[in-house]
Amino acid sequence: MKNVWLIFILIILGCGQQDTSNINTTTSSKTDLQWQGVYHGIFPCPSCDGMDTTLELIKPNKYTIYTVRLGTDNIPFQGSGTFKWDKTGNIIILDRGHIYRVYSDHLYLLDVKSRRIKGPDAQRYRVNKIQALDQQTTTTE
């Protein structure tokens, strides 16, 4: 009787398993998502009240970033440059060193090893998309 229950439990657990044989491993944030747009959030800051950050991602691989250290000098910083995608197509690396994981409606700032930042402030390392951009590719002349 114990064997019957064990088989029954294994069958039930097996029914809940996802068939991974049909998962398309060629998809990525780079190719599947409308990642272009303006993202905003306030990152934790050990020496201020937060880093108010606005990041604009533009095709093909350009960005503009605006930051303000809240509660201190409040002098805005503006920078721009290029970014590259990692080999998975899910992570971007700004030429200034910041690393972000790209999702459909937000980005997560990652640590230097491209891992999510953990701890009590983990959710504060997120910037949300506040505006989508035109999907046309920008060309340089």
* Segment 83-106, tens digit of pLDDT: 999 999 999 999 999 999 999 899
Q: What is the mean pLDDT of residues 8-32?
A: 51
Cα–Cα distance list, 4 to 9, 14, 16 (Å)? 9, 15, 19
Question: For residues 89 and 55, what is the distance between their CA atoms, to the nearest angstrom?
Answer: 19
Mean pLDDT of the chain: 81
Q: Which tokens sit at 114?
A: 């491209």
Q: Which tokens sit at 7?
A: 């088989």
Task: Give yes or no for a cis peptide into 46 (omega within 30° of 0).
Answer: no
Q: What pLDDT, on a 0 to 100 scale, did the predictor assign at position 26?
A: 58
Long-range contacts of 117-122 (CB under 8 A, 24+ apart): 121/44
pLDDT in tens, 111-131: 999 999 999 989 999 999 998
| Confidence band for 9, pLDDT divided at 50, 70 and 90 | very low
pLDDT in tens, 49-72: 999 999 999 999 999 999 999 998
